[in-house]
Chains A and B, each alone.
Chain A
């Protein structure tokens, strides 16, 4: 496109660019049909409808307490849930919902020692299977790992950890929040439920130029070249902007225990009086790390490989970012099939 054409196209491109950005909230995401199996407080357990279930052991997806789990089912054609269903898995989703100030007193113990076990019990009842696969992403992975560490009798057969923080020392988050001058108690007490926007702002601040400039500059370039993939951009932008509040006590627990004191990897994490002992984790374990992950850097996940008691441990390390690894355009061909293959070998009765 010569400069003159570019100038001529600019007004139309500006209109289209504005339209894409302004209407991103209307993008349909997480549309795969599902049914509510159980709900308690803000938490809901869903089961995706399928007539292709061929593997008996159900897969339970657990996402972080920041952002919604819709990233598992971003949009038709780019949905991990849809992929798993097509592969023959029985898929459940544990959605933490939108906690508010009424949930201020819910700590990590609530999620690890109450909600996950309850959800697993409901999965057992709904599926009729005695065991399940727990697949956690980011904080969801850490919660799943803690659950397996404190519940020796858990029905979890397979544990999949996607870009999961385990050892937080040396991470950028630790530089920000592990210092004494970061008063996590004040934040938790004042807000009750820490606003999701604040946490999103902090996440974006880790790569400020990329998040606040490059994303929009790239979109503008694509629009100008007539190559903008509207649906892809809007689906991801909508998901990124959907930030539920983080319950105050859980926020305090997370920052204090995981960042200030780094308890999990040091073997000092205690939940409801029980030690979260990683050597007690005996599930078949798949750990997936992303080479360019700045939120849960690879070196912060790898210690889990040495500490767990599992006999069957697989580690996949792939290029990509914290979210791009699983939700990017290449995920369907580069990582999902490997996960499905790993699960398939371990999901028979």
Chain B
């Protein structure tokens, strides 16, 4: 039983590694994706005609929120750099990056996934 299984496994691996299988897979993928696109477009059209926000609208909004989050991240980074620079210039300041020194440790920052 196990020997047959092993032979079948090797035969299957040989089959999927063939160029012709790759060609078939590429074509099948293209067909599935094209059908999916037709489905997505149809659904979006239906929602749009019903004056209801569809998947595409929600994704667009989420993308805009994501871009805002990117900008916020840049601002926060800049703020941190300035704070580090200021800490370094203080006469009584320890080294800028010194986690062992809790007084200089930056509080944990987190921003949420949209």
The chain A residues found within 8 Å of chain B, CB to CB, are 35-42, 44, 97, 100-105, 118, 121, 124-130, 172, 175-177, 179, 181-183, 186-187, 190-192, 205-210, 213-214, 217
Minimum distance in angstroms from A276 CB to a CB of chain B: 23
Whether A190 and B63, one on each chain, are in contact in the complex, defined by CB atoms closer than 8 angstroms, is no
Residues in B with CB closer than 8 Å to A181 are 23, 26-27, 30
Q: A41-B113, A104-B63, A186-B33 are in contact. Are A128 and B77 (CB under 8 A)?
A: no
Q: Could you tell me the dominant secondary structure of chain B's interface residues?
A: helix
Whether A179 and B110, one on each chain, are in contact in the complex, defined by CB atoms closer than 8 angstroms, is no
Q: Which 3 A-B pairs have the closest CB atoms?
A: A128-B99, A102-B62, A209-B9
A210: nearest residue on chain B (CB-CB)? B9
Counting CB contacts under 8 A, is B97 at the interface? yes
Task: From A42, A209, A213, name the one whose CB has the most chain B CB atoms within 10 angstroms.
Answer: A209
Residues in A with CB closer than 8 Å to B12 are 207-209
Which chain B residues (54-89) contact chain A, with CB distance < 8 Å?
55, 59, 62-63, 65-66, 69-70, 73, 77, 80
Whether B100 and A118, one on each chain, are in contact in the complex, defined by CB atoms closer than 8 angstroms, is no
Whether A39 and B111, one on each chain, are in contact in the complex, defined by CB atoms closer than 8 angstroms, is yes
Whether A124 and B23, one on each chain, are in contact in the complex, defined by CB atoms closer than 8 angstroms, is no
Whether B105 and A125, one on each chain, are in contact in the complex, defined by CB atoms closer than 8 angstroms, is yes
Q: How long is the Cα–Cα vector from A214 to B13 in the complex, in angstroms?
A: 14
Counting CB contacts under 8 A, is B43 at the interface? no
Task: From B22, B23, B37, B105, name the one whose CB has the most chain A CB atoms within 10 angstroms.
Answer: B22
Whether A214 and B5, one on each chain, are in contact in the complex, defined by CB atoms closer than 8 angstroms, is yes
Whether A179 and B5, one on each chain, are in contact in the complex, defined by CB atoms closer than 8 angstroms, is no
Q: A42-B113, A186-B33, A210-B9 are in contact. Are A127 and B99 (CB under 8 A)?
A: yes
- Of A38, A105, A175, the contact of B17 (CB 8 Å cutoff): A175
A181: nearest residue on chain B (CB-CB)? B26
Q: How long is the Cα–Cα vector from A42 to B99 in the complex, in angstroms?
A: 26
Q: How long is the Cα–Cα vector from A312 to B1 in the complex, in angstroms?
A: 48
Residues in B with CB closer than 8 Å to A191 are 33, 36
Whether A187 and B33, one on each chain, are in contact in the complex, defined by CB atoms closer than 8 angstroms, is yes
Residues in B with CB closer than 8 Å to A176 are 22, 25-26
Whether A217 and B5, one on each chain, are in contact in the complex, defined by CB atoms closer than 8 angstroms, is yes
Q: How long is the Cα–Cα vector from A157 to B66 in the complex, in angstroms?
A: 32
Residues in B with CB closer than 8 Å to A179 are 22-23, 26
Q: Mark B25-64, 1 if CB is under 8 A from A, else 0.
A: 1110110011011001000000000000001000100110
